[in-house]
Amino acid sequence: MTFDPAVRPRDHFTPQRGWLNDPNGLVVHDGEHHLFFQHHPHSLEPGPMSWGHAVSTDLLTWTELPTALVGSDSEHIWSGSVVHDTANTSGLAPDGRAPLVALYTRFDPATGIQSQCAAHSLDRGRTWETYAGNPVLDIGSTAFRDPKVFREGDGWAMVLVLAEDRTVELYRSTDLLTWEHASSFGPEGFTDGVWECPDLVVVPVEGTSETAAVLLVSVQAGGPGGGSGMQYFVGELDERGFRSTQAARWVDHGADFYAAISYADGPEPVVQAWMSNWQYADRVPATDFRGSMSLARRLSLRRRDEGLVLVQRPVARAGELVVELTGQNLTDTLPLPVEATSYRVVAEIEPGTADRLGLQVRVGEGEHTTIRIDPAAGTVALDRTRSGVEVHPEFPAVHTAPLPPRGGPGGGGPVRLEVVVDVASVEVFVGDGELAMTDQVFPDPTSSGLTVFAEGGTAHVLHLAVHV
């Protein structure tokens, strides 16, 4: 029994060859979602980065295009963002045209200096020209990176990190090429690891016409699943900058959701992450490629007693309905007639008298990954103790997080689960997207089963559907 690294996930983007990490330059433009990404095309290890490129119209099927920005031994092209400069404020396009403009970090391995550079494209991101006046922002720092640009009124704003300081710096510009420092945020929240890949996103509050500013910050160490993690701050953004109005929380409670940023110019906030962890990313089984993106996730905020909580809904394939249960009592483990390595389970289960309940996915001989709800403790666990090839023995194999409110009177009510399994990953959403947990798993391809279980009492499956 062993994992086969040649098999690609079905709906998660992987590069044709080589190493992948952060998503870069996410933008919706001319009917396409552009996914640029940190890419070291000729190696399964990180190295001098380039920007790989893929496009999609549904966020599930991807077409990989030629490398967009080619790095070299003397100039590594690190993370950044793309905007559509509709009014040609940059002047980078000929009159009457509107360029896509990329802002990225140039890493100079000779000096360690990280400076911000620009490039533009006039052909829907297919080819790029770097700006002759690069860098556009250089403060002589060796830990200053990951510019994320967004529109602000008629002008532009950009957030990037002073990674070692654990701060997010806000700059403003009228032309994308000259940048003025405006304000600084942090250190605050989780600060065990260096800060990376910030994004400031306007997110709607469910059931209202309100929005709030959400600052996403990736933290390289000390995450909830061990190693890299992502935090968010809900707050306010005005001319003085960003201020948090509530304590930091984790975006995802698993180990493999990092460096997520949002798509520019979409109709709603949608983020996508690198589905790995700097602590072991280079140990993940691989042959032709190493690394994949998460599914894209739609963001909203939900009002709770403790404040506004981030809600994430995956953009998942509808798929074919292969199993459906309604109104069924559950006292032990019920195997479901599923044989697949990619599937999606949506379930609503009333815990009843059960001590524990949940799902086992990718079930095979001696292998399974467990999603376990403990109603009394009020926890959800994603357990990859028996998930297949172990690449991170020094990290906890069980990730545990607080169970979101179930919505019933007196704290009762059904647990709502959505689980997306795709060859080498499990993404779990609990409570209508209120809690997310993402882990890579490396099971044998024959571990293709699925069970639903209850222990120590009777749970009630109100509804359970499996789509492949």
| Total interface residues for ligand FRU by CB under 6 A | 12
Alpha-carbon distances of 252 from 106, 151, 231, 381, rounded to whole Å: 29, 27, 8, 12
Q: How far is the CB of 145 from ligand FRU (least distance, A)?
A: 5
For CA atoms 219, 221, 223, 226, give the dihedral sign.
positive
Residue 145 interacting with ligand FRU (CB under 6 A): yes
Binding-residue pattern over the window 244 to 263 for ligand FRU, x denoting contact by CB under 6 A: ---------------x----
In the complex with ligand FRU, which residue's Cβ is closer, 11 or 196? Answer: 196
Select from 3, 37, 51, 78 the one that contacts ligand FRU (CB under 6 A): 78
Query: Which residue shows structure tokens 């023995």?
Result: 393
Residue 271 interacting with ligand FRU (CB under 6 A): no
In the complex with ligand FRU, which residue's Cβ is closer, 22 or 85? Answer: 22
22 labelled catalytic: yes
Catalytic residue among 4, 11, 22, 439: 22
Let me know: does 244 contact 233? Beta carbons within 8 Å: yes
Torsion-angle region of 238 (φ positive above 0: left; ψ -120 to 50: alpha; else: beta): beta
Select from 11, 75, 169, 196 the one that contacts ligand FRU (CB under 6 A): 196
Best CA proximity match to 380, nearest among 206, 252, 234, 279: 252
Select from 105, 167, 341, 370 the one that contacts ligand FRU (CB under 6 A): 105
Residue 22 interacting with ligand FRU (CB under 6 A): yes
Residue 115 interacting with ligand FRU (CB under 6 A): no
What are the tokens at 353? 């008298």
In the complex with ligand FRU, which residue's Cβ is closer, 81 or 387? Answer: 81
Q: Determine the Cα–Cα distance for residues 42 and 204; give it in Å rounded to an integer.
A: 41
In the complex with ligand FRU, which residue's Cβ is closer, 197 or 347? Answer: 197
Select from 14, 38, 191, 244 the one that contacts ligand FRU (CB under 6 A): 38
Q: Determine the Cα–Cα distance for residues 41 and 60; give it in Å rounded to an integer.
A: 22
Q: Determine the Cα–Cα distance for residues 158 and 175; give it in Å rounded to an integer.
A: 12
Buried b (16+ CB within 10 A) or exposed e, 263-296: bbeeeebbbbbbbbbbbbbeebbbeebbbbbbbb
Residue 434 interacting with ligand FRU (CB under 6 A): no
In the complex with ligand FRU, which residue's Cβ is closer, 79 or 370? Answer: 79
In the complex with ligand FRU, which residue's Cβ is closer, 195 or 453? Answer: 195
Alpha-carbon distances of 384 from 361, 364, 442, rounded to whole Å: 10, 13, 9
Residue 79 interacting with ligand FRU (CB under 6 A): yes
Q: How far is the CB of 168 from ligand FRU (least distance, A)?
A: 13
Indicate the SS3 state at residue 411: helix
Interface positions with ligand FRU (CB under 6 A): 21-22, 38, 49, 78-79, 105, 145-146, 196-197, 259
The catalytic residues are 22
